[in-house]
Amino acid sequence: MIYTVTLNPALDKTVEIPNLTLDTVNRITEMRTDPGGKGINVSKVIAKLGGTSKAFALLGGESGRTIQSELHQMGLSTSFRFLPGQTRTNLKIVDPVRHTNTDLNEPGMEVCEGDLNLLLHDLLSDLHPGDIVVLAGSLPAGAPRDTYKTWVSACRSAGAKVFLDADGDLLSEGLKGVPTLIKPNNDELSRLVGRKLETAAELAEAAKGLLEAGVERVVVSMGGRGALYLRNGSTLYAEGLQVPVGSTVGAGDSVVAALAFAEDTGLSEEEAVVLSTATGAANVMCSGTQAAERAQVEALMPRVVYHPL
Ligand SMILES: Nc1ncnc2c1ncn2[C@@H]1O[C@H](COP(=O)(O)OP(=O)(O)OP(=O)(O)O)[C@@H](O)[C@H]1O
Ligand SMILES: [Mg+2]
């Protein structure tokens, strides 16, 4: 079973405003809301791939209830704890005339350590050895910086495999709990090691250092350049697929989803490389944060090229 955890979810509200202008009244021509936050995005993509997962999150207020009901309409299983306050609404303004994307992100609600511990307890009481836990995204205000270290260690002790997708000190703290897999992009890996890594060879070298520290698998995504898949004794480079770009938002989340799905269904390393590269590219072809259909992913799979580095 796959469990995803979103400690700082958001209701993504996307509006279309042709010729967005400051200091005047703007008219919205189209509007949609989507449940968001990295773990929730991973759960949505897993569902599109034909898998099942259970999404854990801390929610609040009306926007939290909207997220819950939209996910249930999609048939996703969830375990939420509702807290006082409102889950943040992140407004994305798409201007089809000027070709701009403007994000207005709310700060989100504040949590305390006790809230986090209750959700962790819920998760641990569901976990069995061999389960997969995906920890992804930012932390809400009030969460200790070492939250991911605590969660990674607790889930690993319960015998679960932990996939961590985080940035900055959340990633470096999480690494202290020794996750099974991490998926930094090239910028995140550069920040982690404290120097700008440009080439695939430089990125692979830095990722090998993490394997030595005990992480079993490191996947370094490089946007349109594809990704590196490292485990002890093996480095594969999957080239990026040439596809028309709708939106690159959430491409990395799609890769994490495909990797978790591949692990859960017992796919080989090579099959996981092909599936995750195709899933990333298929989601890049979609607009906004909408997840690609399985058929779109399958259509791209024969085009994936990978080789040892
Ligand atoms: N422009 C693109 N064309 C083709 N494939 C892409 C493109 N951008 C991303 N991808 C695919 O998606 C994967 C993940 O992308 P990326 O490295 O941008 O993730 P990310 O920065 O973690 O994204 P996010 O955190 O926003 O989800 C890449 O390894 C690649 O396979
Ligand atoms: Mg990412």
Q: Above 80 in pLDDT, residue 256?
A: yes
| Distance separating the N- and C-terminal Cα atoms of the chain | 32
Instruction: Answer yes or no: are the C-beta atoms of 176 and 149 closer than 8 Å.
Output: yes
Query: How many other β-carbons are positioned within 10 Å of the β-carbon of residue 173?
Result: 19
Quote the pLDDT of residue 37.
93
Across 9-154, the runs of DSSP E, i.e. the strands, are 10-16, 30-36, 53-60, 77-83, 88-95, 100-105, 132-136
Closest to 296 (Cα-Cα) out of 241, 221, 253: 241
Whether the Cβ atoms of residue 136 and residue 38 lie closer than 8 Å to each other: yes
State what percent of residues in the chain have pLDDT above 90. 93
Tell me what the mean pLDDT of segment 182-211 comes to. 96
Q: How far apart are CA 309 and CA 307, in angstroms?
A: 6
pLDDT bracket for residue 291 (50, 70, 90): confident
| pLDDT higher than threshold 80 for residue 296 | yes
- Going by the DSSP 8-state scheme, the letter that residue 224 receives in this structure is G
Bridge pairing between strands 226-231 and 234-239: antiparallel
Residue 115 C-alpha from the chain's centroid: 22
Residue 248 has pLDDT above 90, yes or no: no
Q: pLDDT-derived band of residue 287, with 50, 70 and 90 as boundaries?
A: confident
Residue 132: strand, helix, or coil? strand
Please give the distance, rounded to the nearest whole angstrom, from the Cα atom of residue 252 to the centre of ligand 2: 4
Ligand number nearest to the C-alpha of 171: 2
The rounded Å distance from CA 248 to ligand 2 centre is: 10
Q: CA-CA distance, 289 to 237, in Å (whole number)?
A: 26
pLDDT of residue 107: 83
Inform me whether the pLDDT recorded for 267 exceeds 90: yes
The per-residue DSSP string of 238-263 comes to: EEPP----S--TTHHHHHHHHHHHHH
Look-up of token digits 């809400």: 140
What pLDDT was estimated at residue 290?
77
CA distance 76 to 70: 9
Ligand 1 proximal residues by C-beta, below 6 Å:
185, 221-224, 226-227, 240-241, 243, 245, 248-253, 255, 277, 280-281, 284
State which ligand 1 atom lies nearest to the alpha carbon of 238.
Answer: 31
pLDDT of residue 282: 97
Are 182 and 227 within 8 A, CB to CB? Answer: no
Mean pLDDT of 234-256: 94
Determine which one of 34, 131, 165, 253 is catalytic: 253
Mean pLDDT, rounded, of the chain? 95
Per-residue pLDDT at 108? 86
Question: For 110-169, what is each residue's pLDDT tens digit?
Answer: 999 999 999 999 999 999 999 999 999 999 999 999 999 999 999 999 999 999 999 999
Q: What single-letter amino acid sits at 240?
A: G
Ordered by where they begin, the domains of the chain are 1-21+28-165 (3.40.1190.20), 180-309 (3.40.1190.20)
- For the entire predicted model, the pTM comes to 0.95
d(CA 304, CA 171): 29
Quote the ligand 1 centre to 21 CA distance (angstroms). 30
pLDDT tens digit string along 57-112? Answer: 999 999 999 999 999 999 999 999 999 999 999 999 999 999 998 999 988 899 99
When pLDDT is averaged across residues 231-244 and rounded to a whole number, the result is 96
